Structure 1
């Protein structure tokens, strides 16, 4: 099968990670895959990418010295030509701006197009222009995929006249299985890993940790990630006087190694699409705490059976959950073991690839 995959970039985002994982898996089984980042200007992909994936940075094909409008027009025409030349069985695109471009660039080519939303559209602060563009264009895609059943339900209202909408989870990267959870050092680590942005609410994690850290003197909070709120996070740590217990580690390109060395994981997002960090932490056998936000944590944890779900933005409950996990080794062991078992069964790469093949059949890419 010939597949063209479109992304905005190949940076350190969740959509980029999933796109890279899928591309690598498809070429490994013998598919012909072309990956086209449509907006970034090149560079080395953040996530490993097989040499068998044809990688084309669209920006590298655009002539310099043109006005912005002329560049957009040229970019669109080049994208359409690249797709037409490869005559794929299906085009898969990630994220709203790329989705709109994919739909327009394939108009009249009679190539099935599957567009992917990677977060909950009902929670996204899209501009009015992008909301209108998505509402008008998405109906012409052969399928919209989202990551959970709850988002599928809300998306059907937000984007009217969709031909098909299906839920397909992110796969647990196969590389995760190369790491073994080896927690239990003299200083225990509560891990937060994610972008330092408003929706991740890392300040709530710091506040909750400050409420329980005296009762758990052998625990430290390690925060991995970077983003626009880095200064605010540093300020929150300083105001709480937690400089010796809370460590702001910055961004890591070895997230699974970091997870394998932690003792518990916490996430306090206001909303998610399908939080990769939570999935991977569970897959490594970490006991996890998460706000019951839309969407992802409830589906991943089977309604709270395999992670501690905290009512959204309930700060007191978050502190209680932290204390429960951090003070009870037996509970941590049981919770982590159950999390690993369910994730490996439900979200393995093999299971998710099988789901994608079902979607390809639905749109006529596989006969």
Structure 2
């Protein structure tokens, strides 16, 4: 319900309708958005509280009084139904906004309400509660419904998340912008398992304090690579998972609690599921807290579309609704955004630590015939091409001659056991593994593992601003790759390596490019020098941290 607390709105009747509705549908809650600080508001609020207590309901749990929220209509898509029990109306603006938002509306037959048309169920105010209850139940999702409606389990899951939104939305809407710490930024990420995105985030955490930004890191899932946290001793790192209240409701509560505890001026999503992001953004919409989403590029929009596909997902939120609630989107490379958002769009590539000199840690000597492959072996990485590329390298070397070796650092992901089986049975097709193809399994220190390589091979269908190639280039290791995502900003043919079209060519052509780098020392040396120069100029950690700091400060009006 939306409207000031006043006798005209007949909220006492709405509370009694809720009490009867709860006998049949116990999960329903009543949310009232409207100010109570003037006129008869305080008396009305007290009357609601007394009536609720008499009927076995509790304000703050069963009935949420959120006060006056700016642009209250923006919250309508998160409701299952809109209720108006007014004793008199002209033509309710709130009801009209509910109709526009496609929220089922049940309203009293007074004033000009009948002009709202067939999308509104109108009931005479004199009708008994059972008539109102019946009308409300008709528009609520049930476990028997199919099609676009979700199962009762999912509805309960989402319902928990929706229920926790309103108290937090009320809390944050009342926050004075002057009370926020504009230098405080809460980063929320899915996990800290092996992956370039998570590694680049932790690298950024280390550098931001030097720019005047104070980061807090919240990790939703597993911390699978503890070494990522090295150097973050002075930065709060919070594990969102909790045994007492896991799931969506707990996750949303913990994120909001962190924002409140640290008085954060900004929230930055870094690889987070669409439902969590959309609900948090919805909560913060009326607040002065800035919301930023870091995206690897167009993948963000495809991921959002997949999560919100299928009509009603229980929230009535959509990809476009979420995107337009953001203050900024960050792409990790220069790319034309497929949708327009009301906020800013920034392009900030990943950064990498660039050594002062080539191979500095242990003055490792380059093995020109070592070709490194670094990353999980997933379907998007073209692992099926590796045996044939290795065999083509043997052919180019000639019989009896040493052929360049491919060394793979990364295992088959646990979600793709079928790929490992198919790789053995179909890709190798009964043949033995080529003598110049080696699988070393996953490593927590990929940069050290590849540090003596003559070049890096990186093939992929989806890339943002890949760390594997940046770490190789920073060590002076040329890269052979295909042009997907932001790879073309790193790998430049005959400058820092060889760049193929987005669809990789036959293994014979890939092997030829690798063989040239391995055997032509003058060419390899020139590529190596250019690689280090490029990373220093465009992909340093200092540049990455400065760009993010400028973004956060600009959103706060400080830059």
TM-score under structure 2 length normalisation: 0.58
After superposition, give the CA deviation of every residue in 1:174-233 in whole Å (9 maximum; x if it has no partner): 689754673444x83111001111111122233222212233324211111121234444
Do the aligned residues in 2 keep the contact of 1:176 with 1:283 (CA within 8 Å)?
A: no
Residue of structure 2 in register with 1:129 after alignment: 307
C-alpha deviation, 1:102, in angstroms: 4.2
Among candidates 234, 244, 248, match of residue 435 of structure 2 = 244
Secondary structure, in 3 states, of the residue corresponding to 2:395?
A: coil
Q: 1:33-112 counterparts in 2 under 5 A?
A: 33-38=215-220, 40-41=221-222, 45-49=226-230, 50-60=232-242, 63=244, 71-97=247-273, 99-100=277-278, 102-112=280-290
Do the aligned residues in 2 keep the contact of 1:91 with 1:112 (CA within 8 Å)?
A: yes
Among candidates 293, 296, 302, match of residue 486 of structure 2 = 296
Residue of structure 1 in register with 2:558 after alignment: 366
In structure 2, do the counterparts of structure 1 residues 106 and 231 end up closer, same or farther at CA, with 3 Å as the change threshold? farther
Secondary structure, in 3 states, of the residue corresponding to 1:321?
A: helix
Residue of structure 1 in register with 2:386 after alignment: 205
Q: 1:304-319 counterparts in 2 under 5 A?
A: 305-311=495-501, 312-315=503-506, 316-319=508-511
Does residue 18 of structure 1 match 2:200? yes
Secondary structure, in 3 states, of the residue corresponding to 2:203?
A: helix
Residue of structure 2 in register with 1:141 after alignment: 326
Do the aligned residues in 2 keep the contact of 1:103 with 1:113 (CA within 8 Å)?
A: yes
In structure 2, do the counterparts of structure 1 residues 30 and 165 end up closer, same or farther at CA, with 3 Å as the change threshold? closer
Q: Which has the higher contact order (CA 8 A, sep 6+)?
A: 1
Q: 1:189-204 counterparts in 2 under 5 A?
A: 189-204=370-385
Do the aligned residues in 2 keep the contact of 1:189 with 1:264 (CA within 8 Å)?
A: yes
Structure 2: gaps spanning 5 or more residues? 1-182, 310-316
C-alpha deviation, 1:138, in angstroms: 1.6
In structure 2, do the counterparts of structure 1 residues 54 and 253 end up closer, same or farther at CA, with 3 Å as the change threshold? same
- 2: distance between equivalents of 1:322 and 1:240? 23
Among candidates 109, 118, 131, match of residue 296 of structure 2 = 118
After superposition, give the CA deviation of every residue in 1:25-79 in whole Å (9 maximum; x if it has no partner): 12355643211012x155663413411110111113x515x7xxxx322321222
- 2: distance between equivalents of 1:195 and 1:103? 32
Higher radius of gyration, 1 or 2? 2
In structure 2, do the counterparts of structure 1 residues 319 and 245 end up closer, same or farther at CA, with 3 Å as the change threshold? closer
Does residue 275 of structure 1 match 2:466? yes
- 2: distance between equivalents of 1:163 and 1:259? 40
- 1: distance between equivalents of 2:227 and 2:308? 27
Secondary structure, in 3 states, of the residue corresponding to 2:438?
A: strand
Residue of structure 2 in register with 1:3 after alignment: 185
- The farther-off stretch of 302-311 and 17-26 is 302-311
- 1: distance between equivalents of 2:422 and 2:348? 35
Does residue 169 of structure 1 match 2:349? yes
C-alpha deviation, 1:287, in angstroms: 1.7
Structure 1: gaps spanning 5 or more residues? none
- 2: distance between equivalents of 1:63 and 1:176? 48
- 1: distance between equivalents of 2:390 and 2:407? 11
In structure 2, do the counterparts of structure 1 residues 86 and 120 end up closer, same or farther at CA, with 3 Å as the change threshold? same
TM-score under structure 1 length normalisation: 0.86
C-alpha deviation, 1:273, in angstroms: 0.9
